Structure 1
Amino acid sequence: MLITSYNNTALDDTLIAVMAQDTPDQTAQQSGDITAIINGDDQVIGYNFFRVSQWLGDLNVSGGIQLNANQVATLNHAIEEAGLPGQMTVDDTPKFVIGKIVSFDAHPDSDHLHVAKVDVGSETLQIVVGAPNADLGQTVVVALPGAMMPDGKIIWPGALRGVPSSGMMASARELQLKGAPQRRGILLMPDTFKPGEPFDFAKGEAVVAAQEA
């Protein structure tokens, strides 16, 4: 897993790289313009690259960024030159995909949550959902574990009211799609979209426009 983000305005030419979830006992090891974040098992779970433009040039982005193989190799060389542990691995798998709700049951400890099984093509995930419009058989947008939402939140496996949940069914508002309604509810996609298909944000905006017309 490799999640990277860049915001020059807020963080002043710093690239944040996340490879695993934060832990309470993590420590930091810095060398030059690179800081390695290390968990209690001595595993590197992330890096901060300060003045990253010295390695990657100008990054004309704000928010999540997907590094290509050459960029990752360049940063790995910088990590090695700095004498820091670990290496990053390219991760180009889609993190926002189309899903199909194949089972939908009441949550055992909630009157408004449901426990869904969602086919995302390569596997079926269990996702706890509280959206009022979620139901069996719907085609939805799933943010997989490791997805970075447009607001910077990272989706990790977890549990809601004691029930494991892996991923999130997203609303148009959470995806920050143009024209997204400001009411609660997941984004429902036409059944022409198939489980496992990478979610195209432009097509999502077209769906929103059609639904709100």
Structure 2
Amino acid sequence: MLITCYNPAELGDILLVVVAADVSNQQVIQKEDIVQFSDPVSGKPIGYNVMHASKLLPGLIGSGQIELKVQQLQILNEALQQAGFSSELVADRKPHFVVGLVKQLEVHPNSDHLQIAQVQVEKQRLVQIVCGAPNIAADQLVVVAEPGAMMPSGEIIWPGELRGVASSGMICSARELALPNAPQKRGILVLPAADYQPGMPFDLAKHQAGK
């Protein structure tokens, strides 16, 4: 998993790199212009802050989540190795916002308002997502933010549990996706069956622009 963010207006010339879910206690090591954050128990990296990023990476622009080009990722990996970090960053090009079909719903055993949804996100792949939207129903086409997705709010979606039940992803509302004229009341976005099918990427930027 690889999530990269760059917002010089707010954070200065720093590239934020996320490769794993956050932990409460982190080991922090700085070598040259790179700061590594890691899990002190497993020793695995959580992410990096890359200082003076625009000097290191040619053509670096953005104001939020960005996708590094092949050359930029190669340069960044070389900089990590030269600084003495052993990990290698691998591009994650798959779409993280996809169209899902709600195949089955069951009542959450530990909640009076949550439901456990089995959602088809590919032809042969179902994911389990706990959802509290009052309008969710079987056979709906919905937008699923899979693990590794970054929401417009900056929240990153990770696998987890809700009241003791595993949940892998989030079924999104129009408001959570920052879509134009999104209703402010609670409820997921239901997509028209004529225009969408399970497994299709959901082009968030295009829909945010109202296209």
- TM bracket, shorter-chain basis: over 0.9
1: CA distance, partners of 2:126 / 2:104: 10
Unaligned runs of 5+ in 2: none
Please state how far the C-alpha of 1:56 moved relative to its aligned partner: 1.7
Contact 1:179–1:205, Cα closer than 8 Å, also in 2: no
Please state how far the C-alpha of 1:69 moved relative to its aligned partner: 1.9
Q: Which residue of 1 aligns with 2:57?
A: 56
Residue 132 (structure 1) aligned with residue 134 (structure 2): yes
Q: Which residue of 2 aligns with 1:100?
A: 101
1:17-166 to 2 correspondence within 5 Å? Answer: 17-39=17-39, 40-121=41-122, 123-166=125-168
Contact 1:64–1:150, Cα closer than 8 Å, also in 2: no
Bigger CA drift: 66-75 or 132-141? 66-75
Contact 2:99–2:198, Cα closer than 8 Å, also in 1: yes
Q: How many residues align?
A: 208
Please state how far the C-alpha of 1:86 moved relative to its aligned partner: 1.0
Q: Deviations over 1:118-148 (max 9, x none)?
A: 0000521100000111111100000001111
Identity of aligned residues (%): 49
Q: Deviations over 1:93-138 (max 9, x none)?
A: 1010000000011111111110000000052110000011111110
Q: Which residue of 2 aligns with 1:195?
A: 198
Bigger CA drift: 148-157 or 23-32? 23-32
Please state how far the C-alpha of 1:201 moved relative to its aligned partner: 2.6
2: CA distance, partners of 1:72 / 1:204: 28
AA aligned to 2:11 is L
Please state how far the C-alpha of 1:58 moved relative to its aligned partner: 4.9
Contact 2:105–2:116, Cα closer than 8 Å, also in 1: yes
2: CA distance, partners of 1:2 / 1:128: 24
1: CA distance, partners of 2:144 / 2:74: 30
1: CA distance, partners of 2:3 / 2:186: 27
1: CA distance, partners of 2:204 / 2:163: 31
Superposition RMSD in Å: 1.8
CA distance 1:173–1:107, change in 2 (3 Å): same
Q: Deviations over 1:7-46 (max 9, x none)?
A: 1122101111111112234201111111111212121221
1: CA distance, partners of 2:80 / 2:60: 19
SS in 2 for 1:78: helix
Please state how far the C-alpha of 1:59 moved relative to its aligned partner: 3.3
SS in 2 for 1:120: strand
AA aligned to 1:174 is E
SS in 2 for 1:116: strand
